[in-house]
Amino acid sequence: MTQSKTPLAIGLTRALALGQAPRRLLAAGGLSIAVLAAVSLMASGVRAAGEAPPAGPQVPVVSVGAHTAGSSLAFDGSLQAVRQSTLSAQASGRIASLSVKAGDRVKAGQVLAVIDDRATQAGVAQAQAGVAQADAQLANAQAHFERTRDLRAQGFVAQAALDTAQAQFKAAQAGAAAARAGQTQSSLAQGFTRLTAPYDGWVLQTHAEAGTLAMPGSPVLTVYAPQPIRAVVHVPASLQALARQAQQIEIQLPGTDRWVRPAAQASLPAADPVSQTVEWRLDLSAADGAEQVPGRSVRVRFVGAPATAAAESGAQRLVVPASAVLRRGELTAVYVVASRGEGQPAGFALRAVRTGAALGEGVEVLAGLKAGDRVALDPVRAGLAGAVPAAAAQ
């Protein structure tokens, strides 16, 4: 037996299908909320059963595999000034004045800081007085020796008197030399109270302020010359042999996509005992190093290492196509094929990865993936709602 619908119920169903607000029908027909809810559920059930879910985009995927790749090694490094000096106090005392601050430009020989030098000034004055006294004694001893020598030649004095005068003259000469050495020492001590710039450059950092007590060896400020500048990278000791066999070395300048070659390169002959890395120093040319500042991070890659050497070392790497990598600010990720549950088609899940060197059309993945994972070749489409792997959609 089929039950006929009332005109109000028919109108309500049409209104729900059209998206109209049900409160109008409530006001017009006085239908209760319970009846409205039942009719609404019935209408939604009819629509869900009659309509097919929207189809998502089909995205091609590729399986991640481990490969022996020796064509490139890439590491993070930093820029470093070739000429960088930390100026330290060589005399004890309070810092009387500090005439520069971080970021100031300085000239060679410019006085940057002065330590309280009243004690050294007194030492200089004392040394000067000692020199004057020694010179007077030397002049007196020389005159006495010359008179005694003349008298001895005339036979008026004994040889012993001449020997005594000669000894006094030599002692006066030694005393004058000692006084002058003391004057030089006091002058050096006076100079230690002034810190001067060793070359034209910039103040990188100040380690003390005016009024601070300075002790010999305590750092006061750091200066550096803007040119030349170099990139410093620490290569794992286990990969040092491959780095040495690279056909060329390239440096990515900070904030750009440019890769440049160093003007000169060198590696230290020993590895760090703690980090087990070897330091490489790569000098930039004047053109490439212009406007660069120490401390900025750079990317360094060793290109063209023989594949045979990599095969002998057994270095297996995971490589994905460069188009599969999604970069959004600090996030680097790929879309990996993931199950949505039993009876549901496979979809995509975003997974953060850490990438390494560029290997041809691919990118090395250092962490986040394993061999056998399937990743989307188009990460933009894979992020859309309902996206499915192309193979699973067929």
Q: Check residues 54 and 337 and name the one with the higher pLDDT.
A: 337
Radius of gyration of the chain from Cα atoms? 43
Beta strands at 388-389 and 58-59: parallel, antiparallel or unpaired: parallel
Largest CA distance in the chain: 168
52: Cβ contacts below 8 Å, ≥ 6 apart: none
186: Cβ contacts below 8 Å, ≥ 6 apart: 120, 123, 124, 126, 127
Question: What pLDDT does 34 receive?
Answer: 44
CB-CB neighbours of 181 under 10 Å: 12
CA distances (Å), 376 to each of 264, 338, 342, 359, in order?
42, 11, 21, 19
Most confident of 122-131, 142-151, 250-259: 142-151
Two tokens, residue 294: 């120490």
Give dist(CA 325, CA 322) in Å, integer: 6
The predicted model gives 241-254 an average pLDDT of: 87
Region at 155 (left for phi over 0; alpha for psi -120 to 50; beta for the rest): left
Two tokens, residue 159: 């040889």
Question: What pLDDT does 328 receive?
Answer: 84
Residue 48: pLDDT band by 50, 70, 90 thresholds?
very low
Q: Return the DSSP state at 270.
A: S
Two tokens, residue 371: 């061999």
Q: Check residues 278 and 309 and name the one with the higher pLDDT.
A: 278
Q: Is the pLDDT of residue 1 over 70?
A: no
Question: What pLDDT does 121 receive?
Answer: 77
The predicted model gives 1-30 an average pLDDT of: 46
CA 385 to chain CA mean position, Å: 39
Give dist(CA 224, CA 65) in Å, integer: 47
Cα angle for residues 156, 161, 162 (degrees, 5° grid): 90
Counting beta carbons within 10 angstroms of the beta carbon of residue 376, is it exposed (0 to 12), middle (13 to 18) or buried (19 or more)? buried
Residue 203: pLDDT band by 50, 70, 90 thresholds?
very high
Percent over 70 (pLDDT), the chain: 78
Q: Is the pLDDT of residue 133 over 60?
A: yes
**What are residue 256's phi and psi, to 5 degrees?**
-135, 170
Q: Is the pLDDT of residue 29 over 50?
A: no
The predicted model gives 328-341 an average pLDDT of: 84
Tell me the pLDDT tens digit for each residue of 314-326. 456 788 888 888 8
Q: Check residues 43 and 244 and name the one with the higher pLDDT.
A: 244
The predicted model gives 97-125 an average pLDDT of: 86
CB-CB neighbours of 53 under 10 Å: 7
Two tokens, residue 2: 């089929």
Q: For the chain, which domains are there?
A: 7-50 (no CATH), 58-67+315-393 (2.40.420.20), 73-81+226-313 (2.40.30.170), 85-108+202-224 (no CATH), 118-191 (1.10.287)
Q: Is the pLDDT of residue 3 over 70?
A: no
Per-chain mean pLDDT for the chain: 79
Q: Which residue from 344, 331, 321, 341 is spatially nearest to 392, judged by alpha carbons?
A: 344
Q: Check residues 217 and 173 and name the one with the higher pLDDT.
A: 173
Most confident of 106-110, 292-296, 369-373: 106-110
